[in-house]
Chains A and B, each alone.
Chain A
Amino acid sequence: NAGVMQNPRHLVRRRGQEARLRCSPMKGHSHVYWYRQLPEEGLKFMVYLQKENIIDESGMPKERFSAEFPKEGPSILRIQQVVRGDSAAYFCASSPGQAPNTEAFFGQGTRLTVV
């Protein structure tokens, strides 16, 4: 059973471009969480999704950021018109039920660099 797969591992974008980050949850997991880690900081919750539904996006910036978890395929975190401040590591986690009641497993992250 493969773990949570995130790709790409590293992504470089110029200011104003779009960034698409993908997360394939573990098999059998229908709950996905996205976190952002800025340098020298802990992880900050962004959004919680179940299949085809956004459950809580209270940690997402109101503009330029969006997330989806379609019926088929990976969850996508999309950042439009990236700016230097978006440079961070973005982690995805998945769980079979609603965390923290069940353990969430983390992917290795996507490190986004905006130049």
Chain B
Amino acid sequence: AQSVTQPDIHITVSEGASLELRCNYSYGATPYLFWYVQSPGQGLQLLLKYFSGDTLVQGIKGFEAEFKRSQSSFNLRKPSVHWSDAAEYFCAVGARGFKTIFGAGTRLFVKA
């Protein structure tokens, strides 16, 4: 069955430190992969997506993600976190053409 696992429910990093959010997926074919960010009380904003091609994907707000087929992973990274990055982050896999399956999310806290 298709699924997305985000192992970390919460992560706390210091402002200026690097960030990596983990995402593992289970999908039978080449997946469409996404990272979304959700600020409190807001909808989801797409950070980046992977459909095919270069396995290192650049997104908005300085985020990037790397698709590793051998590890079934699509981890999100940022070299230097800003306080405004505090939010919830969702990894998602596009399935069957339109059903997007979301992970449970990782809440990021940024400390000064």
Residues on A lying within 8 angstroms of B by beta carbon are 4, 6, 31, 33, 35, 40-45, 48, 55-56, 58-59, 91, 93, 98-101, 103-109
Contact = CB atoms under 8 A, between A and B. Distances in A.
The contact size tier of chain B is: 20 to 34
Interface of B: 4, 32, 34, 36, 41-46, 49, 51, 90, 92, 94, 97-105
Given A103-B46, A108-B42, A109-B43, A41 B94 contact: no
A93 B94 CA distance: 14
B104 A41 contact: yes
Given A43-B90, A44-B102, A108 B43 contact: yes
Given A42-B90, A43-B90, A99 B100 contact: yes
Given A106-B44, A106-B45, A101 B97 contact: yes
Contacts of A100: 32, 34, 49, 51, 94, 97-98, 100
A55 B43 contact: no
Nearest to B9: A40
A43 B44 contact: yes
In this complex, the member of B34, B45, B97 whose beta carbon has the largest number of chain A beta carbons within 10 angstroms is: B97
Contacts of A98: 97-98
